[in-house]
Amino acid sequence: QLLIGKDFTLFNRSNVFLDEVLLGYGNVNDTLGLVDGQGTSFGNLGSGYTYPFPASQIRYTSPSFGGGFKVAVAAVDPSPVNGDADREESAPRFEGEVTYSGTFDDASVTAWVGFLSQTSESDMGDVDSNGASYGVKVGFGGLSLHASGYSGEGIGILLGPTEAALGLALITMYDPTTYNALDSEGYILQASYKMDANRFVLSYGENEIEDTDYIGHEGMQAAWFYGYNSNVTFAVEYSTSEFSGILGQEEAQTLAVGAIVNF
């Protein structure tokens, strides 16, 4: 399969799309400008993974082979991470992901690894953005367990290389005096259990940047989903968000009640 156009990028893509509370409410906080900042809730973005922001790309995805493997690679329109006036990106950003899906007796397994690499150049210095993503999701009957994470440099805490568009590159992506990219990492752990029309989920995740100054964000959710029919699912979710570091100190608690409608 060949894609020439705009779509979600590959880095952290499976981390996001296999999130057990993807269709839930998720995190809110004013530090990131959510809700009271006229934004919306962010799911687990920034507290478990970064967002695979849609971008122009040329992407090849292989057919399934070897009993459940797939490979996807993409040349992506790069992001202007370097803040210098003469910056340029002379090569695309390269991203890739290998996934495996299989079933064994009563169990199902999905596992993946991915990567990201780009360089944003200027006469004063280059900023390299590199990352690795990974995860596994296992199902046993009604029980599902999800563990995933990422680590990298120059990819921020929320949006990956696209985070530079928020004006945060000099804070969350690289040191402007040395042009050294800042290290960041994150992970998410989840368990869900489905019983008839009910599904119960517990989730905990965090992202952090540890360098000269610390930036961290933790998120927790406990959720109940009730499948009323094939089109309507009711949801009740309690979530907490804790942000710390040079961007601010904030704790938030949210109780959300609503419905998910598919048609």
Total count of domains within the chain: 1
Give the number of other CB atoms < 10 A from CB of residue 92: 17
* 28 band by pLDDT with thresholds 50, 70 and 90: confident
162-205: pLDDT as tens digits = 988 888 888 889 998 899 999 999 999 999 999 999 999 999 99
Average pLDDT, rounded, for the chain: 92
Segment 71-78 long-range contacts (CB within 8 Å, at least 24 positions apart)? 71/96, 71/97, 71/98, 72/10, 72/96, 72/97, 72/98, 72/99, 73/10, 74/3, 74/9, 74/10, 76/9, 76/118, 78/118, 78/120, 78/161
CATH of the domain at 110: 2.40.160.10
The DSSP output letter for 26 is B
d(CA 209, CA 186): 9
Domain range for residue 106? 2-261
Give the number of other CB atoms < 10 A from CB of residue 62: 12
The DSSP output letter for 169 is I
pLDDT above 80 for 32: no
Of 235 and 167, more confident: 235
116-164: pLDDT as tens digits = 999 999 989 999 999 999 999 999 999 999 999 999 999 999 899 998 8
Query: Order of strands across the sheet with 183-195?
Result: 2-7, 55-61, 69-76, 93-104, 107-120, 127-140, 143-153, 183-195, 198-210, 214-227, 232-245, 250-261
* 35 band by pLDDT with thresholds 50, 70 and 90: low
236-247: pLDDT as tens digits = 999 999 988 887
pLDDT (0 to 100) of residue 52: 94
pLDDT (0 to 100) of residue 87: 86
Beta carbons of 110 and 89 less than 8 angstroms apart: no
d(CA 254, CA 20): 18
The pTM (predicted TM-score) of the whole model is 0.91
